[in-house]
């Protein structure tokens, strides 16, 4: 059999049995820019933060990533919301059914992580920046939530879409233990880049003021880590960070950051 006939035969066979290599499933089409929409892109269009609508708007804008926050209900459903309370209901001590009694301003129910990941997976350009929120109930509960979240990402085949972030170092380490090679950044501003590197983190994702002192930008590049800054909403700070060649900027104003990036070209 010649090589070409062999290739055609194998391609036909794989098509017939639905074979896909892991590489074929990994999109390499991610937007190449610094823009991460904080809780989705909600502000300009008056959408609720952390709604599927705000995720879709971030995708429409062409952001590198759309950030969102994950909590766990009392009956262990993972949901997307910023605060520990959803419209007055404490998530950690409410059931998912109780949360469904309230709606976001655009008519959406509180999104489940499953629904969020499925919505994000419909495209291959904007990454899903998944923040795991410690619940201040117990460290063990936080780790349970982490295990459930990573398992769900894997079950849905969404690992290539998801970068993880957390204010909890223990949560970040748990993600890395569950999924070696996962892209995990730490939010709390109190760990050195050397420590993050040694723990296997992808980078630091700190309040922008942290980067004003010290040699974060040269050191991160030397260590092969990324830097992300939150939450940067004005042009002056955006420009300063871009001047330092930062990898990512997390903002409530993704449209403003895109405009500014255009003027800098």
> Is residue 58 a contact partner of residue 52, using CB atoms and an 8 Å limit?
no
Write the interaction track for Mg ion spanning residues 52-71; mark x where CB under 5 A is met and - where it is not.
-----------------x--
Strands 162-166 and 78-80: unpaired
Residue of minimal Cβ distance to Mg ion: 131
Q: What are the CA-CA distances from residue 122 to residues 97, 115, 231 (Å)?
A: 27, 11, 27
- Residue number with CB closer to Mg ion (116 or 197): 116
Q: Supply the minimum distance, in Å, between the C-beta of residue 70 and Mg ion.
A: 9
CA distance 42 to 204: 24
CA distance 51 to 237: 27
Query: Considering only residues 213-252, where is the footprint of Mg ion by CB under 5 A?
Result: none
Could you write out the DSSP letters of every residue in 20-89?
--HHHHS------SSEEETTSS-TTTTPPTTSHHHHHHHHHHT-SEEEEEEEE-TT--EEE-SSSEETTE
Can you give 196-224 as a three-state secondary structure string? HHHHCCCEEEEEHHHHHCCCHHHHHHHHC
- Residue number with CB closer to Mg ion (71 or 197): 71
- Residue number with CB closer to Mg ion (132 or 182): 132
Count helices and strands in the chain by DSSP H and E runs: 11, 11
Residues 6+ apart with CB under 8 A from 210: 189, 216
- Residue number with CB closer to Mg ion (165 or 196): 165
- Residue number with CB closer to Mg ion (69 or 247): 69
- Does position 131 interact with Mg ion (CB under 5 A)? The reply is yes
Q: Supply the minimum distance, in Å, between the C-beta of residue 69 and Mg ion.
A: 4
Query: Considering only residues 68-127, where is the footprint of Mg ion by CB under 5 A?
Result: 69
Q: Supply the minimum distance, in Å, between the C-beta of residue 265 and Mg ion.
A: 29
Closest by CA to 202, choosing from 246, 172, 232, 168, is 172
Q: Supply the minimum distance, in Å, between the C-beta of residue 22 and Mg ion.
A: 29
Q: Supply the minimum distance, in Å, between the C-beta of residue 67 and Mg ion.
A: 6
Beta-bridge partners for 184: 164
- Does position 142 interact with Mg ion (CB under 5 A)? The reply is no
Total residues at interface with Mg ion (CB under 5 A): 2
- Residue number with CB closer to Mg ion (124 or 207): 207
- Residue number with CB closer to Mg ion (66 or 197): 66
- Does position 205 interact with Mg ion (CB under 5 A)? The reply is no
Q: Supply the minimum distance, in Å, between the C-beta of residue 6 and Mg ion.
A: 51
Q: Supply the minimum distance, in Å, between the C-beta of residue 84 and Mg ion.
A: 12
Which span sits near Mg ion by CB under 5 A: 52-60, 110-118, 131-139, 244-252? 131-139
**Residue 239 token pair:** 């420009």
Binding-site ranges for Mg ion (CB under 5 A): 69, 131
């Amino acid at each position: 059999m010649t090589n070409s006939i062999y290739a055609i035969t194998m391609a036909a066979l794989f098509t017939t049995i639905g074979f896909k290599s892991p590489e074929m499933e990994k999109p390499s089409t991610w937007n190449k820019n610094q823009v991460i929409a904080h809780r989705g892109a909600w502000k300009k269009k008056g959408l609720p933060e952390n709604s599927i609508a705000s995720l879709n708007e971030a995708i429409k804008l062409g952001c590198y990533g759309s950030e969102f926050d994950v909590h766990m209900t009392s009956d262990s459903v993972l949901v997307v919301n910023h605060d520990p309370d959803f419209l007055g209901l404490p998530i950690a001590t409410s059931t998912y059914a109780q949360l469904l009694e309230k709606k976001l301003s655009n008519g959406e129910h509180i999104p489940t992580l499953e629904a969020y990941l499925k919505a994000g997976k419909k495209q291959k350009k904007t990454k899903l920046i998944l923040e795991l929120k410690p619940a201040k109930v117990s460290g063990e509960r936080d780790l349970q939530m982490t295990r459930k979240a990573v398992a769900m990402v894997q079950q849905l085949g969404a690992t290539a879409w998801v970068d993880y972030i957390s204010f909890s170092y223990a949560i970040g380490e748990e993600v890395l233990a569950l999924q070696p090679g996962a892209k995990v950044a730490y939010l709390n501003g109190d760990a050195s880049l050397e420590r993050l590197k040694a723990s296997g983190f992808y980078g630091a994702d700190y309040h922008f003021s942290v980067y004003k002192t010290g040699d974060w930008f040269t050191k991160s590049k030397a260590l092969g880590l990324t830097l992300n800054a939150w939450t940067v909403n004005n042009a002056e700070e955006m420009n300063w960070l871009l001047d330092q060649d930062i990898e990512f900027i997390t903002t409530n104003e993704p449209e403003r950051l895109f405009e500014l990036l255009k003027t800098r070209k």
